[in-house]
Chains A and B, each alone.
Chain A
Amino acid sequence: MRFRRYALLLAVLLTSLFLLTVQTRGGGPTRAADLVALAITPVQSLLANAHRGALSAWLTFTDWKTVRSENMALRADNERLRVQSLQVRETDQENHRLRRLLALRDRMPLATLTGEIIGREAGGWARSLTVNRGRADGVAQQMPVIVSEGLVGRVAQVRSGASIVQLLNDPTSTVGAVVQRTRTPGLVEGEPGGGVRFKFMARDGAGVAPGDLIVTSGLGTLFPKGIPVGRVTAIEDKGSALFHFAVLAPAVDAARVEEVLLLTGQPAQDVAGLFTPDG
């Protein structure tokens, strides 16, 4: 047993020394390498191929891991940038609205008060907005509320720190108005369905057409003359009735209003020219 063990060791040592000797002395390194290559080259080739395969698999795996982590980081970046983009867009829109409101306020020949919408009521029974201006700010009932596009409504209730603005399409809202082009007078009223109609338009004022702008008449003491109320989208001719009725598209989309101007004074002149078509 012991003899076999040392015989094996001796054989291995001799083989190794033979290989080394053949490589360095036995006819020169080239011949030695040729001899060794006969036995080793197939194994080496196999090993090299396996090595390449394993290395390739390993690199693919590490690439996959890198790509995966990069992908996760990029997704997080993308999400963050999207949120930032939304915030920037929001700020930009707010800035745009405020600029238009400020421009209107500067043009208005009367005292105004800016307010921010803090609540909405859009049920069928009442349609209103809550503005963060109240009694302490000098707000009074029936004050007109406008934005750069036109009339929003009027102050219906005043509280200590807020006011309720009745919208044009509230079923109990009535505003005296005229067709700007023909000066045909009538009343703009809200409807339970949320629409707005221009009613009691005398038939002798016919010629009103879809697209006509309806503005406040200035009759009475509530609203200044010339504030855009809406545009005619359809005429309802009741045949033998004394009046025409027109369906209006409100000048102001109350659902999107976020800042308003409360008119605290009454101008004598027509303010229609202060409202540009795009606000």
Chain B
Amino acid sequence: MRLSLLLMAFGGSLAQSSVVPSWSVGGVTPDLPFILTALIALRRGPEAGCLVGFAAGLLQDATGGGLLGVQALSRALAGFAMGLLPGRLWVGHPLVQIPGLVLLTVAEGLVRFGLLQLFHFPASIGELLVRVILPQALYNGFLGAACVLAVELAHMLRGRHTWI
């Protein structure tokens, strides 16, 4: 099970650097590993979310050429937090999952910005929020909705019915 989760993280990171750039809309690309992290966290809980987020973030750090550990940390936190939500919100419903994904993307972006600020990241938070974090959060929300619907469809085809 853990291997399959790590393979998903690996596959998500691989897709992020190969296929996902072609899904760019107005220069904004979705963050597929992050969406996978969030969905896995909702299904498997905070531990799985944390580990998958850490692995996916580490791979993205490694392939992105930035500081190794920034995305690993922010995504591990985001995956952990997303995994804690099922006990507190009705996260099984897509109408909760999708805004949740948008907000989580924004939160993860802010955490990442905070970490990078420690290492003198030059961009301002306002510009980063408007140009990068919010557009990507919205895109993540839409793509996450599509992923949730695809997962639901797969479950319905298998004769089971669950929102996650």
Chain A complexes with chain B: yes
Collect the chain B residues with CB atoms within 8 Å of residue A47's CB.
10, 13-14, 17, 59, 62-63
| B contacts with A, residue count (CB < 8 A) | 28
Within 8 A of B (CB), among A15-38: 15-20, 23-24, 36
Q: How far is the CB of B27 from chain A (nearest CB, A)?
A: 19
B18 & A12 in contact (Cβ 8 Å cutoff): no
B63 & A12 in contact (Cβ 8 Å cutoff): no
Query: Interface residues of B: mostly helix, strand, loop or mixed?
Result: helix
Q: How far is the CB of A57 from chain B (nearest CB, A)?
A: 9
Q: How far is the CB of A177 from chain B (nearest CB, A)?
A: 81
Interface status of B77 (Cβ within 8 A of chain A): yes
Output the nearest chain A residue to B115 by Cβ-Cβ distance. A20
The segment from B33-41, B66-74, B124-132, B155-163 found at the interface with A is: B66-74
Collect the chain A residues with CB atoms within 8 Å of residue B47's CB.
4-5, 8
* Partner among A12, A43, A58 whose Cβ is within 8 Å of the Cβ of B76: A12
* Partner among A16, A18, A48, A51 whose Cβ is within 8 Å of the Cβ of B54: A16
Interface status of A69 (Cβ within 8 A of chain B): no
Offer 27 A-B interface pairs, CB within 8 angstroms, sorted by A.
A4-B47, A5-B46, A8-B47, A8-B51, A9-B76, A9-B80, A12-B51, A12-B76, A13-B76, A13-B77, A15-B54, A15-B69, A16-B72, A19-B69, A19-B72, A20-B67, A20-B70, A23-B67, A43-B59, A43-B62, A47-B14, A47-B59, A47-B63, A48-B63, A50-B14, A54-B14, A62-B22
Q: A23-B68, A55-B18 are in contact. List 14 more A-B contacts (CB 8 A).
A: A5-B47, A9-B76, A12-B54, A12-B73, A13-B76, A15-B54, A19-B72, A20-B73, A36-B62, A43-B59, A43-B62, A47-B59, A54-B18, A62-B22
Residues of B participating in the A interface, judged by any CB pair closer than 8 Å: 10, 13-15, 17-19, 22, 46-47, 50-51, 54, 58-59, 62-63, 67-70, 72-73, 76-77, 80, 115, 119
